[in-house]
């Protein structure tokens, strides 16, 4: 348990940051799943629109340090490959 005022504040900040990170990570995963669902349905236009909506969310997560930049690039590349294959 935090004993000093500084440790109490850091614990409070850490909890706030954890909740924000969880929310943003969940939002990113939701966008990726929407693209995957559109790809599985075989609808190229819907998949393209979902991909265009997902890219800024993925880039934002990478920019905030939520995921590594290479992981963001890997997600975008793989999704784009699947869309092109449709």
Pull the structure tokens for residue 45. Answer: 């236009």
Q: pLDDT for 42-70, tens place per residue?
A: 989 999 999 999 999 999 999 999 999 99
Both structure tokens of 56: 């800024």
Main-chain phi, psi angles of 43, to 5 degrees: -90, 105
Residues 6+ apart with CB under 8 A from 54: 28, 31, 32, 34, 35, 79
Q: What is the pLDDT of residue 86?
A: 87
* pLDDT value, residue 49: 95
Kindly list the distances between the CA atom of residue 12 and the CA atoms of 19, 25, 46, in Å, as whole numbers in the listed order.
11, 20, 42
Q: What is the mean pLDDT of residues 11-38?
A: 96
Output the pLDDT for position 46: 93
Query: Taking the CB of residue 40, how many other CB atoms lie within 10 A of it?
Result: 10
Please state the pTM of the whole predicted model: 0.83
Q: What is the residue extent of each domain of the chain? A: 5-85
Q: What is the CATH number of domain 5-85?
A: 1.20.58.110
Share of the chain above pLDDT 90, in %: 93
Strands (E), the chain: none
Average pLDDT of the chain to the nearest whole number: 94
């Amino acid at each position: 348990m935090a004993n000093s005022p500084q440790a109490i504040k850091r614990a409070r900040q850490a909890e706030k940051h954890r909740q924000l990170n969880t929310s943003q990570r969940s939002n990113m995963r939701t966008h990726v799943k929407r693209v995957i669902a559109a790809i599985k349905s075989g609808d190229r236009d819907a998949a393209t629109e979902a991909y265009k909506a997902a890219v800024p969310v993925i880039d934002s997560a990478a920019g905030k340090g939520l995921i590594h930049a290479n992981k963001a690039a890997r997600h975008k590349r793989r999704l784009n490959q699947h869309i092109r294959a449709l």
